[in-house]
Amino acid sequence: MQTKFYITKILVIVSFTAALFFASVSFAGLLDKKVELSTLPPKVQETIKLNAQGGTIKSIEQEKEKREVTIYEVEVKKPDGTEIEFKVDENGSLIELEKN
């Protein structure tokens, strides 16, 4: 009888934890907003242009991360057809670069 109670309790805890995790993941992107390069601070624009490597900027999304730091996530299609994604912080520093 005790074992059944503990198993039920564990299942409830696991289910609740999973629900919280997936809810936070699905809502994370809702606060992102698309922005235009020309509206960004000059240092951010400079970093984006430099890292775009002559490619076409497909999108720029502004997102808030921990402690209200603004991050710009950029998707670029390079002239050779490859795509890259990178993140730039509000001070114009490159903080992440992914090559697809």
Q: pLDDT tens across 38-59, in order?
A: 999 999 999 999 999 899 999 9
What percentage of the chain exceeds 70 in pLDDT?
74
Looking at the fold, whether 47 and 88 belong to one and the same domain comes out as: yes
List the beta strands (DSSP E) in 1-99. 33-34, 56-65, 69-77, 83-89, 94-99
Do both 82 and 38 map to the same domain? yes
Are 42 and 6 in a shared domain?
no
Residues 25 and 36 in one domain: no
Domain, as residue range, for 94: 32-100
Question: What was the pLDDT predicted at 73?
Answer: 96
Distance CA 98, CA 100 (A): 6
Number of structural domains (the chain) is: 2
Give Cα separations from 85 to 21, 47, 70, 79, 82 (angstroms).
Answer: 25, 13, 17, 14, 10
pLDDT over threshold 90, residue 91: yes
Say if residue 11 is in the same domain as residue 57. Answer: no
The yes-or-no verdict on residue 25 having pLDDT over 50 is no
With 50 as the cut, is the pLDDT of residue 3 above it?
Answer: yes
Enter the pTM of the model. Answer: 0.66
38 and 3 fall within a common domain:
no
In this structure, are residues 94 and 74 in contact, taking their beta carbons and an 8 Å threshold? no
CATH number at residue 83: 3.10.450.360
Q: Are 85 and 74 in contact (CB under 8 A)?
A: yes
What's the mean pLDDT in 74-91? 94
Give the contacts of 55 (CB within 8 A, at least 6 positions apart): 76, 77, 78, 79, 84
Tell me what the pLDDT averaged over the chain comes to. 83
